[in-house]
Structure 1
Amino acid sequence: MEVPLADAIAIYLVNAEELQNDHPDSLTWCQASGFSGQVGKSCLVPDAAGKISKVLVGRPESLDTWTLAALPKTLPTGTYDLAGMFSTHNATKLYLGWQLGSYNFDRYKLTKVGPVATLQPPENVDLTYVKATTEATYLVRDLITTPSNNMGPDQLEEITRTLADRYEAQVAVIAGGDLVIENYPMIYAVGKASTRAPRLIDLRWGNPDAPRVTLVGKGVCFDSGGLDVKSATGMRLMKKDMGGAAQVLGLAQMIMEVGLPVNLRVLIAAVENSIAGNALRPLDILTSRKGTTIEVGNTDAEGRLVLADALWEASSEDPDLLIDCATLTGAARVALGTELPAFFCNNDETTATLLKAGLAVDDPLWNLPLHSAYRSMLDSPVADMNNIASGSYGGSITAALFLQEFIQTEVPWIHVDFMAYNLRSLPGRPEGGEAMGMRALFQLIKQRLA
């Protein structure tokens, strides 16, 4: 066994056999503590003076990102060192999980959360990746968990500009009535009822000659449902409806921090879906940036409207990969639950690569079909399309088919429909805003284009 650092408490991953063979001096204590190497369990072993001499952690058959993720908040505060030798792949997963498990959101608490246990970086760890991923995930969590009174379209713009300054990117913003002038009519129509002006935020970074990657985020900073108002229960978590914008900003930060050789563009349609005398009404007809007319079957299906204008612009440059992220439908949550994002893709090779990438980095997604037979459910008798389907089933599919109408040419396109919020706390994944599928998307971009 590798000897741990002298000033740190050693953590040993053990199964039942390793506990017996490698730690015979601790067997009596472990037996009294009820620890036999079970996965998800740990045992603090004291020395003769009663101080912690080492920590034994149940080793799963396959190590993953979450193996150590509960320990930062369950171990006594101090510095720890992971004993043993690990591949770069496993060392990076284990260290990343520890960092993700160290997250706290205490911005609004008078009494701040105290320090958590820290882990020395294991040998072979990819520190650049862990740093980039941790910072990006913290950013996404912070943005989504922040309440809407402090997270509107203007704050999303401010955060984007801060990222741009850090990485020497360029930002352009079209806001308020200028959206109509510049032909983003549906973004304006959805957001015009709010006192906080709607806007399209456009970030560019990287070598113009590199492969083009364009990210589009749904930035509905609060969704009342509009005149088709949500119930109190349905509205309660709608601060998270800008989760798509948060996720593409986090993914962009990862790309820029690591320095992937891509030509990056990020488009965020930032609005608040509010109720006022000038609010969008049911059965209003809008003309999109594409030029097609859309009948508003429901004002609470606003996310696809703002994404449509942004996607038409995004695909106009014929990027090598186009990704949009959105908290788009409850139907996707009914199908897969809240912790497994759905994605749709118009390219079989890209689909297969993303599925494998998600499993490789413990950030899985599930592919749902762009079932073209359902497209007719979006037909309108008075406009080119309706923004909702005529039936109540397959809602995530019909929403994706609506968005597909605004993808130009043969651009490889991924649409991620996700919860953006943990409803329960799991190791490394506390209750609150969450990046879901972000690490998988980064892995895809790195493998395919960088």
Structure 2
Amino acid sequence: MDGFAPRPTAKTVPVDVVDAAAAKAFVRKLPASARAVLAAQGFEPKPGRATVLPGSGGKARVLLVRRGPGDVWSAGALARLGSGRYAVRTRLAPEDATAFALGFALGRYRFERYLAPKRRPTLVWPEGADRARVHAEAEAIRLGRDLINTPAADLGPAELAQATADLADRFGGTCTVIEGEELLEAGFPTVYTVGKGSARPPCLADLSWGDPDAPAVTLVGKGVVFDSGGLDLKSAAGMKLMKKDMGGAATVLAMAHMIMARELPVRLRVLVPAVENAISGSAYRPLDVIRTRAGLSVEVGNTDAEGRLILCDALAAAAEERPRLLLDVATLTGAARVALGTELPALFANRDPWAEAVLEAGRRLDDPLWRMPLWDAYDELLASDVADLSNVASGSYGGAITAALFLRRFVPKRQDWMHIDTMAWNTSAKPGRPKGGEIFGARALVAAIEARLLAG
């Protein structure tokens, strides 16, 4: 994997990794010359800070401060330094060595599709790191970030479906793609309706992999490659980042990559409804009524609530197979971001054990999510005068909850189901997380699948 070296050289820069709580005591033991450099730089022992210091024999050394054991992201600060080779000389537990290597790899990421390649730093593999896991997770997140960062001009519905097919091919899976009016024949009317306003036809990619007798896991990802809002047009500011509105699809493809690369013994299915929500004479309209795959009629209260429409048919199709877990991921609501900010995905689950497994994994792996309620009393806000339900709530509050409740209408009560509402974007650069497309929560979700379905 690019970015790692098997061994140090004479020019390798040593790295001391220090917990924030112990950093001041560590600094007091440094030579006077090193303390003077830190003082001149206004050093504060904050996690995610990497500082170059004078070492023995005139060579450089690096002091890297982390939050504590299990901290993934602080290692990304090392990737911000010059393009040399670095080696951790602090003894780390195997799980911390793995976390450090992953954080470095994620911090080293740079979207280069339209840029000249740039030399970046290299890390000697930390002793005890699980190299296979780091490979699988870093490559998966790189795939997801690349997809989100790609402009809609170069990533339409067909290209997103092709990315799904390419992933299936890489790991020996299969993928079928349904396109255009074939979606109506196949029973995906909402996917077709949302996407028919674009010159680029909508499609649905359906990936399968693994032993048919293994526990079945189905992932569904919102694949709106660009969201203008449709006839309920977004503002310029609201539209600017909408190339990222396929971030749910990117997240489930990253999860699929992790699962297949690590050869987890599950029967995996991934459904990616891919559309562009555009404006034209054939675009769907406010107060149109759509008959969904599940048989429910939906009134279009707002064309800018298109994500839940394309997801509802995909969820209904997925539930027909009764997988052990049905999981969808979507950049669904601004309300989730108002509630939780940009870095913390909202988790909705209809089974407590699944929610608890995800939350535990998120804490352990430094990949957190936050549970929000499926509040039954708000379900009545989705009422319509002319259809079974509306795609938007009648009130302006609790938008993330009502969106999740809308999706729940298309999931049978017997089905274990989780819904993730994510930002899929770093609004600013932080150690391990460059500005731009981001895959939040995927590592925790895969770990929860392992814990609930494969442990023991």
Deviation at 1:6, TM superposition (A): 4.6
CA distance in 2 between partners of 1:432 and 1:409 (Å): 37
Q: Equivalent residues in 2 for 1:47-446 (5 A)?
A: 50-52=58-60, 54-73=61-80, 75-109=81-115, 112-446=116-450
**1:324 is aligned with what amino acid?**
D
> Corresponding residue for 2:4?
none
Deviations 1:412-447 (A, max 9, x none): 111000111111111111111110111111111121
The one-letter code of the counterpart of 1:11 is: V
User: Aligned with 1:190: secondary structure?
Assistant: helix
Q: Which amino acid aligns with 1:85?
A: R
Partner of 2:26: 18
Is the 1:295–1:383 Cα contact (8 Å) retained in structure 2? yes
Distance in 2 separating the partners of 1:204 and 1:61: 39
8 Å contact 1:5–1:81 — kept in the other structure?
no
Summarize deviations over 1:258-287 as a string: whole Å, max 9, x none: 111100000011111111111111111110
d(CA) in 2 for partners of 1:38 and 1:262? 41
Question: Are 1:307 and 1:403, in contact at CA under 8 Å, matched by a contact in 2?
Answer: yes
Query: d(CA) in 2 for partners of 1:48 and 1:377?
Result: 68
Other structure's SS at 2:232 match: coil
Q: Distance in 2 between matches of 1:153 and 1:247?
A: 16
Q: Distance in 1 between matches of 2:321 and 2:49?
A: 51
The total of aligned residue pairs comes to 444
- Unpaired runs of 5+ residues, structure 1, are none
Residue-by-residue CA offset, 1:68-106 (whole Å, 9 max, x unaligned) = 211112x22211110022111111111110000001112
Query: Structure 2: which 5+ runs fail to align?
Result: 1-6
Look up the SS of the partner of 1:221 in the other structure: strand
C-alpha distance 386-34 of structure 1, shift in aligned 2 (>3 A): closer
In 2, are the aligned partners of 1:64 and 1:94 still within 8 Å (CA)? yes
Aligned counterparts of 2:393 and 2:44: Cα–Cα separation in 1 = 55
Bigger shift: 404-413 or 57-66? 57-66
The counterpart of 1:45, out of the listed 39, 46, 53, is 53
Give the Cα–Cα distance (whole angstroms) in 2 for the partners of residues 49 and 369 of structure 1: 59
Q: CA deviation at 1:291?
A: 0.8
Task: Specify the code of the residue in structure 2 equivalent to 1:329.
Answer: T
Q: Specify whether residues 194 and 29 from structure 1 end up closer, same or farther in structure 2 by C-alpha distance, changes over 3 A only.
A: closer
Letter in 1 for 2:212: P
Q: Residue type matched to 1:16 in 2?
A: K
Amino acid paired to 1:90: D
Code of the residue aligned with 1:291 in structure 2: it is G
Letter of the 1:446 counterpart? E
Amino acid in the other structure paired with 1:423: T
Judged with a 3 Å threshold, the aligned counterparts in structure 2 of structure 1 residues 161 and 76 are, in CA distance, closer, same or farther, namely: same
Query: Matched residues in 1 for 2:299 and 2:47: separation?
Result: 54
| Superposed CA RMSD | 1.9
Does structure 1 retain, via aligned residues, the 8 Å contact 2:48–2:431?
no
Distance change >3 Å, CA 38–CA 352, structure 1 → 2: closer
Are 2:315 and 2:410, in contact at CA under 8 Å, matched by a contact in 1?
A: yes
- Please give the alpha-carbon distance, in whole angstroms, between the structure 1 residues aligned to 2:37 and 2:395: 62
Quote how far apart the aligned CAs of 1:23 are.
5.7
Instruction: Report the Cα distance in structure 2 between the residues aligned to 1:416 and 1:291, rounded to whole angstroms.
Output: 24
With structure 2 as the length reference, what TM-score do the two structures score?
A: 0.93
Measured after TM superposition, the shift of residue 359 of structure 1 is 1.0
TM-score (normalised: structure 1): 0.94
What do the CA deviations read for 1:31-75 (whole angstroms, capped 9, x no partner)? 5555475544333233577542x21223544450012211112x2
In 2, Cα distance between equivalents of 1:395 and 1:37: 40
CA contact (8 A) 1:290 1:312 kept: yes
TM-aligned CA distance change 1:32 to 1:215, over 3 Å = same
Q: Is the Cα–Cα contact under 8 Å of residues 216 and 323 in structure 2 kept in the other structure?
A: yes
Contact kept in structure 2, 1:175 and 1:200, CA below 8 Å = yes
Distance 1:114 1:344 in 2: 40
